[in-house]
A and B are shown apart, each in its own frame.
Chain A
Amino acid sequence: NAGVMQNPRHLVRRRGQEARLRCSPMKGHSHVYWYRQLPEEGLKFMVYLQKENIIDESGMPKERFSAEFPKEGPSILRIQQVVRGDSAAYFCASSPSGGGAGYTFGSGTRLTVV
């Protein structure tokens, strides 16, 4: 029973490039959440998705960031034209029914923009 799988674990991008972060939820989980954690700071909610739907994107920056969770395949967090300030750990979590104790995190993707 694989947990939440995120890849890549580490991603280095030059300023202006695109970053694509992938998250495969646990088997049977249809709710996916993305969080960003800046160095020495707490987790900041970005977006909550169910299959093919964005439920809450109140934490997403208005520009350059987008997320999807297609019917087939992993959830993707996409950052266009990355800047140094995008360097952070991006964690994905999934749950079977929305929130609650069934919430499980992936190991995160550490994005470094050089």
Chain B
Amino acid sequence: RKEVEQDPGPFNVPEGATVAFNCTYSNSASQSFFWYRQDCRKEPKLLMSVYSSGNEDGRFTAQLNRASQYISLLIRDSKLSDSATYLCVVSNNNDMRFGAGTRLTVKP
């Protein structure tokens, strides 16, 4: 089983749609959780941290379920500029493990 698993997609959605990505992780001792965004042929950039209580940043909402070892990202009112690959990231003991990413394409 992979350390971090994501649905690879692709997700093709129209502008304004709501889209949700899921991620599961295998190491129950994992301590920190993040979503990163990677544009084509660019480096990954931090989108947001994920907290047990859930957190929201504008149109983006992240949720963590430690019991199920599950992380989610919800994007509301999607924009063309949201098109990218979204990486689920799990951290334990000072190093980060990345999922393979979910590709999102938002179309006009």
Contacts and interface: CB of A to CB of B under 8 A. Distances in A.
Do the two chains bind? yes
Given A101-B34, A101-B46, A42 B98 contact: yes
Contacts of A35: 98
Contacts of B43: 91, 105-108
Contacts of A89: 41
Interface string A91-109: 1010001111101011110
Contacts of B98: 35, 42-45
B77 to A, nearest CB: 25
Given A42-B87, A99-B91, A105 B100 contact: no
A101 B44 CA distance: 13
Interface string B69-108: 0000000000000000001000111111111110000000
Nearest to B3: A45
A107 B42 CA distance: 6
Nearest to B45: A105
Interface string A18-54: 0000000000000101010000011111001000000
A55 interface: yes
A100 B95 contact: no
B100 A98 contact: no
28 contacts: A35-B98, A41-B100, A42-B87, A42-B98, A42-B101, A43-B87, A43-B98, A44-B98, A45-B95, A45-B97, A48-B94, A55-B94, A56-B95, A98-B93, A99-B91, A99-B92, A99-B94, A99-B95, A100-B32, A100-B91, A101-B32, A101-B34, A101-B49, A103-B46, A103-B96, A105-B44, A105-B45, A107-B43
Interface of B: 32, 34, 41-46, 49, 87, 91-101
